[in-house]
Structure formats: structure tokens, C-alpha cells
Amino acid sequence: MSIQLALQQVRQNILLAQEKSPYAMRGEVKLLAVSKTQPVERIAEACHAGQKIFAENRVQELVEKQQVFPNVSWHLIGHLQTNKVRHIVNKIELLHSLESIGLADELQKRLSVFETVLPVLIQVNIAEEQSKYGLAPNEVSDFLDALADFPALQVQGLMTIGPLTAQGEEIRPIFRELRRLLQQEKKRYLPHTALHHLSMGMSGDYMIAVEEGATMVRVGSSIFGARSVMYDS
Ligand SMILES: *Cc1c(COP(=O)(O)O)cnc(C)c1O
């Protein structure tokens, strides 16, 4: 299947999921094309098909591709090590994986030099899996309070990666919990935030995520085809 056709199908599926569910977001759900491991030719093809937002999970790869395609948006969806922060400042539109004060601290330092603000999402490990990055759900409130001390970071919402072992409907409670958490935090007075985004759903489950209120979905293989190498996220 061509990338153009695949993108059309994914966009169509997002609309269908929006129509189906009362919890779905009423405005536009942002589709992020996850281009990790994909060569520039395939990214170019997606651009020609009208795709405007791309996501990578490794800093080095993102920076290289951002240089080739400076006029589309780049989001970082993978773990960010503090020693790599300087590479991404001014390169990305949204960081999906903020999950420690150490990282917030380093971002604040680097961003304040440029007097810029970086929109970020807090990564939450809803299922509290050992192997995953992200805050436990019960840590999110305190973390949001602590972020008041980092004015260069604008918190726009929450992100989660569902358990890879979850099949079909098993994932729905995870997405529902992330939505509940966002709603709970939205009710508090947090003037340093603009909480409205829920980044959840990948190729196998983005329709369920949209039904549960995702405002952004991160879709790789359903757009570009299966990745040829095993790739950890
Ligand atoms: C790779 C990746 C995706 C996309 O995965 P697909 O199953 O190919 O759609 C989404 N989110 C994160 C964090 C990833 O690392």
C-alpha cells in the first residue's frame, strides 16, 4: 500500500472513531507520523501526501531528519537523557516524555539561554510496568506542582505508552485512566500549565485511544509499513 493511501485510511479511521464515541475529542485529533527507522525518501512521500507532523524516539535520528525537513513539525516521543537536551532545544515542537525533575532542570537551563519556552507532555506509566519510563499515576499531581518552578516548560498534557502485551480491548482501561488523570488535574489551579493534550494510541490501538479522548495519536507502522528491524521504544 502506498504511504498516501495508508495515511488516508488512518485519517479516515480517526474520524470514524471520533464519531463513534461520546468521549472522543470534538476538534481535530493530531496525527503524528512516527518515522523512526524510515529513510528520508519515505518521509518525503508522507510530506507530499500532506502529512505535517512527524515523531521520532531517538535524539540523533530526529536531529538528522529535522535538518532535511526543517519545515514540518518534529516531536520527540522517546526517552530523553539529560546529556542530550542541548541537541533538541529549538528543534522540536513538543516533548512527549518529561518524567523527572532532573530532566526538567536541564531543560530549564538550556531553554532559558535562548529565552524560549518548550511545550511538554508528562509521560505516565499507567500500568506501572518495570520496563517503562514514566511517572506512576499517583506521582503526577506533585510533579505538576513542582513544575511551577520551571517557567521555560509549558505543560500541555499527558502521554502514555500502553503495555505491548495488551491485546485489543485490554488497552482501553489504560487510556481511560490517562483521560481521568488529565481531567482531575485540570480541575486544580495550575496557572503554569495549559493541560489539554492526551498523547495516546499507536498503530495497534489508535482507534480505541481516539474513542477514549486522545488529542494526538502516534502512528508508525500503519503508515509506513512494518519496520524491518526490531526496535525498542
Ligand atoms: C514506535 C513508537 C510508536 C509507533 O509505533 P507503531 O506501532 O509503529 O505505530 C508510538 N509511540 C512511541 C513512543 C513509539 O516509540
Residue 213 is predicted with a pLDDT of: 98
Residue 191 Cα to ligand 1 middle (Å): 31
Tell which residue, 89, 141, 97, has the closest CA to residue 117.
89
Q: Whose CA is nearest to atom 14 of ligand 1?
A: 233
How far apart CA 57 and CA 96 sit, in angstroms, is 10
SS (H, E, C) 66-133: HHHCCCCEEEECCCCCHHHHHHHCCCCCEEEEECCHHHHHHHHHHHHHHCCCEEEEEEECCCCCCCCC
Residue 233 is predicted with a pLDDT of: 46
Residue 167 is predicted with a pLDDT of: 81
Contact residues of ligand 1, CB 6 A cut-off: 34, 36, 57, 77-78, 161, 202-204, 218-222, 233
How far apart CA 54 and CA 94 sit, in angstroms, is 11
Q: Which residue has the cell 464515541?
A: 21
Task: Kindly give the number of the ligand 1 atom that is closest to the alpha carbon of 57.
Answer: 15
Residue 163 is predicted with a pLDDT of: 87
The answer to whether 129 and 137 have CB atoms below 8 angstroms apart is: no
How far apart CA 219 and CA 221 sit, in angstroms, is 7
Residue 130 is predicted with a pLDDT of: 87
Question: Residues 137-173, buried b or exposed e (16+ Cβ, 10 A)?
Answer: beebeebbeebeebebbebbbbbbbbbeebeeeebbe
Residue 231 is predicted with a pLDDT of: 53
Average pLDDT for runs of 10 along the chain of length 233: 96 98 96 97 98 98 98 97 96 98 98 95 94 95 98 98 85 97 96 96 97 98 83 49
